[in-house]
Chains A and B, each alone.
Chain A
Amino acid sequence: MDHFESLISIRVYDIIYMILSAFPHLSAPELYNRFDLETAITTKSVDTKVEIGGGYWLTITEKYFYQAHQLKMLYNYSLLNPDGSLLISYDNSHHHPGLPNFPHHKHYYPKRKYPPISFSGEFADALSDMRWIIERANE
């Protein structure tokens, strides 16, 4: 495994760790099986979805680049309603240069109703947000 591949494997491990920490009711074996490290290393990306309870789905897409010996990425994390419609998503596409902490931002849906909002860029923060949204929805 070269340095880039090692960084990808650490990232995949971290993703699983963060999901299991945010949603401890999820099955660890299923999650470890869902993230195929082989494909992640071959494609330099992760693109998968996980049911996080109550019919809500989390989609995780990360595309990795190796720059100056560091792992850089393009990402999108989305929370989907049980009917498949989008509730909230987070990404770092360079589309909203006016927002603080550019390029990281999040969208609520429908987008025509809600302008994009700044986001930290941390996957753990997105998961924490999502958990809060689901808990409120189930109250």
Chain B
Amino acid sequence: MAKPKTVDRIISYEEFLKLWKGNRTKRPKSKVLKELIDKIQHYETKYNMKSSVFAERFKKGEFEMDDSYPDNELFSWYTSYLSYQELLSNSHSEAGE
């Protein structure tokens, strides 16, 4: 397998895109979806709550001033859940076309 190209300094946006295109793995959506599911399940287990229930409570700000729920984790969980729903919805649309 070819070794990914790396850089040793700040590069321009054009170089950044070139680097990405050169190293692009074209990971299938199914793999990305699986990673999102793993992350979501990790938080569901940790906080003993279904993501659908959590998302509604999060939007209402129920955890906003509660120190037992670290903000960075709540945001990671919430946005992962949004991305999961979007990807799932796109997959269904593509399957239906």
Pairwise interchain contact A109-B67, C-beta atoms closer than 8 A: yes
A101 → B minimal CB distance (Å): 17
Within 8 A of A (CB), among B7-40: 7-11, 13, 16-17, 19-20, 24-27, 29, 32, 35-36, 39
SS class of chain A's interface: helix, strand, loop or mixed? mixed
**Interface residues in chain B, defined as those with a beta carbon under 8 Å from any beta carbon in chain A:** 4, 6-11, 13, 16-17, 19-20, 24-27, 29, 32, 35-36, 39, 58, 61, 64-67, 70-72, 74-76, 78-80, 82-83, 86-87
Pick from B7, B9, B32, B66: contact of A42, CB under 8 Å = B32
A100 CA / B10 CA spacing, docked (Å): 35
Residues in B with CB closer than 8 Å to A59 are 72, 76
In angstroms, Cα B64 to Cα A44, docked, is: 24
Q: Are B25 and A38 in contact (CB under 8 A)?
A: yes
**Residues B19 and A32 in contact, CB atoms below 8 Å apart:** yes
Which candidate, A88-96, A118-126, A127-135, is the interface stretch facing chain B?
A: A88-96
Q: How far is the CA of A67 from the CA of B4 in the complex (A)?
A: 35
B-contacting residues, A43-80, CB 8 Å: 43-45, 47, 59, 61-63, 74-76, 78, 80
A45 near B79 with CB under 8 A, answer: yes
Contact call B70/A86, Cβ cutoff below 8 A: yes
Given contacts A29-B8, A45-B83, contact A80 B67 (CB under 8 A): no
Assess whether A99 is interfacial by the CB under 8 Å rule. no
B64 A93 Cβ-Cβ under 8 A: yes
> B4, B25, B64, B71: which contacts A78 (Cβ < 8 A)?
B71
CA–CA, A76 to B65, complex, Å? 15
> Contact: A37 with B20, CB < 8 Å?
yes
In the complex, what residue of chain A is closest to B17 when comparing beta carbons? A9
User: Whose C-beta in chain A lies nearest to the C-beta of B9?
Assistant: A28
B9 surroundings in chain A (CB, below 8 A): 28
Does residue A10 face the partner (Cβ distance < 8 Å to B)? Answer: yes
* Least Cβ–Cβ distance between A6 and chain B, in angstroms: 9
Assess A39 versus B32: contact at CB under 8 Å? Given A13-B16, A29-B8, A32-B16.
yes
